[in-house]
Amino acid sequence: MALSKSHAVSIALLAFFVCAVVSSDPDPLQDFCIGDLNVVPGINGFPCRNTSTVTVDDFIYNGIVNSSNTTNINRSGAIFGTVLRFPGLNTLGLSIARLDFLPEGIIPPHTHPRASEMVYVEEGTVYAAIVTADNRLFARVMNRGEVMVIPRGLIHWQMNVGRTNAKIIATLNSQLPGIQFIARSMFGSRPEVPDEVLEKTFFLDERSINQVRSNFV
């Protein structure tokens, strides 16, 4: 039986969407692709360096050996090992970070728009939390050796609630996950978010808004 034009179009659209749903990143066509950071990256990362120039050091990153700078208002610091610092991650969909906390230190609420994350408490005791899109809070104190998974794009934070320094190692499933701090985005953006928007969103007066902004100068 011949199909009508509308049926044929419907089947074609269905086939398109089925393919879109089951599609995934293609398998690598080479063993590795050390990124050439001297070239502008494309949608899938940096072009590969010539394999004849690759050495074992391209597969090793020592950027998280030492602690990060914690002399700031948050009493915490982070060192990221993304493709921009570790070209061996190019095309692998991975990155790593080291988070250091003084007592009462906090990595403030933030999101990673392009990655899910796993955080491993290597030292200390931290209060870790996730807020979902329907405003549910999932939070508890984590101790040394415990791991939390953080779904992509959700607001989350970690705070040192112990009496000693704390340290977290985080891995993310993107070579360039991105990071957006909620408070800094709203109160530290340039040009500034209009006062009226901040007043209506956070129920703050002009004086309070200016006071918060002063922390992000």
Q: Which residues are annotated as a binding site for oxalate?
A: 112, 117
3-state secondary structure of 151: coil
3-state secondary structure 33-59: CCECCCCCCECCECCECCHHHCCHHHH
Q: What is the dihedral of CA 63, 116, 93, 182, to 10 degrees?
A: -60
| The dihedral sign for the CA sequence 7, 9, 12, 18 | negative
**Annotated binding site for Mn(2+): which residue ranges?**
110, 112, 117, 156
For the chain, give the longest Cα–Cα distance: 77
Q: Are 213 and 192 in contact (CB under 8 A)?
A: yes
**Annotated binding site: which residue ranges?**
110, 112, 117, 156
Give the Cα separation of 172 and 114 in Å (integer).
9
Structure-block tokens of residue 28: 């690598």
Of 149, 104, 150, give the one whose Cα is nearest residue 127: 104
Give the Cα separation of 210 and 121 in Å (integer).
36
Bridge partners of residue 142, in order along the sequence: 126
Q: Are 118 and 87 in contact (CB under 8 A)?
A: no
